[in-house]
Structure formats: structure tokens, C-alpha cells
Chains A and B, each alone.
Chain A
């Protein structure tokens, strides 16, 4: 699976949009971008995933650049409960290849 690069930490004011970047310059054409987050001492939680089109769900939006070498996770109105470590993962979603490899992620702190 392709490697990803994320900033180690970010702050965001409560109520503002949090934009978390991820670089994945070696991504292959059949690799998806997944985002998870881990709130302190809990298991990671799936947020969103995409291949090349922008995606939106009730939690967040995912913007993938046209060349697919980077993406941004957007939390539109951050709350204190969004304070967590956010992981960007790229992997092939194909038969028998469901392994998820986590990096160090971005520690997002929402400031009151």
C-alpha cells in the first residue's frame, strides 16, 4: 500500500472548518483513500473513503486532487468532540486484501 504523509498536529477553533491534509504521491490507480479517527483510548472510527471523486457524508467531506496525489478531509463545523488523531490510509480494496496499515496520523485539537 502507498505511504501517506500527514502533519503531526493541528489546532482548529470550535465552530470553524477543520481541514486536514494528506499527501500520497505514490498512490496507484486502484488504491482508495480512507480516513479514520481515534479518540483518546478508544478504537479507531471510520470516517469516509474515496477513489477519485469528492465524497461527502454526515461526518465529513473528502476532497481528492485531480492527480490523486493528495487529499483533504474537511470537518465543516468542528466541535470539541472532534479532538482526536486522524489517520489517512491508502490501500487497494480488492479481494483478500483488507489489511489496514496505520501511520502516526494528525493530532487535531479543537480549541474552545
Chain B
């Protein structure tokens, strides 16, 4: 357990479904991130939230919609996904405005789109 909890661990969804991924941290961090890791590819940064404001959106399709209601929780809402969206989705948090120890990652949600 790293202090960043992601649920569910595994998710299978159809292309017409709507689902949400949840991330929760109780480390007192004030920045949170979503990464995508497809098979055999490096981690890709999707979204960055700092102090609950979205500060970066790396050209992610609109079928992915993030939400950060407070500094401890981050969601990724999914709708009308494609099979190529199947991947490991990782959440991370950090204490911004300091060198600190970098990011703390969750264990990820393995998403399969059928």
C-alpha cells in the first residue's frame, strides 16, 4: 500500500458504457495526476491537477473526463471508449512547490474495452 489507492483494480467495459475510475490519497499532497500505460509503451501523462485546478491536459480525447473535487480525490470518467483505450491507468500524487520525494503512484486500474 503506497498511500495512493485506486479502484477498481480491474475493469471490463463495453464501448457504449459509462464508468469512472477513482483515486484517493491521504498523504497531504496537493497535486494529482492521471497516466496511461499501454502495452509496450512508456507512461503517458494525461492530466495534471494542482490545488484542485486542472493545469494540464495532454491532448486527451474528450471521452476521458477528469474530476478533482478536493485535494484527496481524483476521478477519471469514461464514456464511449474504444478498444485501443485498453491500458493500465495510473494515478499519482505529489507535494507541489517542493523538491520532496517525487511522485507516489497507486497500483493502477487495468481497463479492458470490449
Contacts and interface: CB of A to CB of B under 8 A. Distances in A.
A41 B45 contact: no
Contact of B45 (A34, A43, A101): A101
Interface stretch (A10-18, A44-52, A60-68): A44-52
B21 interface: no
Given A100-B45, A101-B45, A103-B42, A44 B96 contact: no
B72 interface: no
A44 B42 contact: no
Contact of A44 (B55, B101, B105): B105
Interface of B: 2, 4, 31, 33, 35, 42-43, 45, 48, 50, 55-56, 88, 90-92, 94, 96-108, 110
A44 B104 CA distance: 8
A81 interface: no
Dominant SS among interface residues on chain A: loop
Q: How large is the interface on A (under 10, 10 to 19, 20 to 34, 35 or more residues)?
A: 20 to 34
Given A43-B4, A43-B91, A49-B99, 18 more contacts: A34-B102, A36-B102, A41-B108, A43-B2, A43-B92, A43-B106, A44-B90, A46-B102, A46-B104, A93-B99, A93-B100, A95-B96, A98-B31, A98-B50, A99-B45, A100-B33, A100-B102, A103-B42
Interface of A: 32, 34, 36, 41-46, 49, 93, 95-96, 98-105
Nearest to B40: A104
Given A43-B92, A44-B43, A93-B99, A99 B48 contact: yes
Contact of B107 (A36, A42, A99): A42
Given A41-B108, A104-B42, A46 B99 contact: no
